[in-house]
Amino acid sequence: MIRIKSILMHNLMKMYFYPILILCLYLLYSCDYKEDQVEETPIDKYFTDLHNTTVNRPSHNGQNDFRLNIDKDSTDDVIITFYDYYTSYSGAEGYIKVTPLNGYEILYSDYIIHRWSWDPILRDSTFYDVTVNIPKILHVGDTIKVDDNFTPNPVMVHYYWFPTGAESGIHSRILYGMAASANYILIFRNIMGNNQKLAWLKAKNTQLLDGVILNSCKYVDNKGFMIIE
């Protein structure tokens, strides 16, 4: 009788123990497998991370150019130019200029420069205003519209000219642009053909003498508006 009970107990253990063991091993394997898996972030084909690329000021008289392909079609859409020049005769000139290409335009606003010049012969001063274009200042969360004011012409982010007082007379210096030590966002559109595009480019300029730091850009296809993210 005792032996029969022992055999029954042994059979019961075999019946329940092995399935439970297999289930435990499966659960442990599943947990380890999930921990080993890395979540994949979906790639946004409209977004470009520029990894804080810096367009440096030229080490001597000259310029540095950075070319950007906004819509990833293997054609340059924007040139950002950092120019710096000085001579003892004409003075100093420098700028950060954005030139749209390939059918792109840049969103702008008007900026009025109040200037004067002095004529050594007439010994008189002339005062006048000059209107120039600078990139329109926008912020994250603002909405871009395809029918806003865009221009295909180059636009200055910063510009300066410090004359030395040449023989033709004395002129006021020129200094204008977006605020130094600030983040800024450049806005572009391309309405060539049926495939309209809107885009933003995030950048910052610590100082006019240092360089332009480019952060990222993004575009959309065939939409009349775009929200800056």
Q: What is the dihedral of CA 189, 210, 170, 127, to 10 degrees?
A: 40
Report DSSP state, residue 136: P
What pTM, to 2 d.p., does this model score? 0.76
**Percent of the chain clearing pLDDT 70 (strictly above):** 76
Contacts of 194 (CB under 8 A, 6+ apart): 222
Q: Are 226 and 144 in contact (CB under 8 A)?
A: yes
Rounded to whole angstroms, how far apart are CA atoms 7 and 15?
A: 12
Residue 44, burial from CB neighbour count under 10 angstroms (0-12, 13-18, 19+): exposed
Q: What is the pLDDT of residues 13-67, one digit of tens each?
A: 455 545 554 555 555 555 554 444 455 556 788 999 999 998 888 877 899 999 9
When mean pLDDT is compared across 3-12, 159-168, 200-209, the lowest value belongs to: 3-12
Query: What is the residue extent of each domain of the chain?
Result: 1-40, 48-227
Q: What's the chain's average pLDDT?
A: 80
pLDDT at 181 over 60: no
Rounded to whole angstroms, how far apart are CA atoms 27 and 158?
A: 63
Would you state the pLDDT for residue 209? 66
Would you state the pLDDT for residue 166? 55
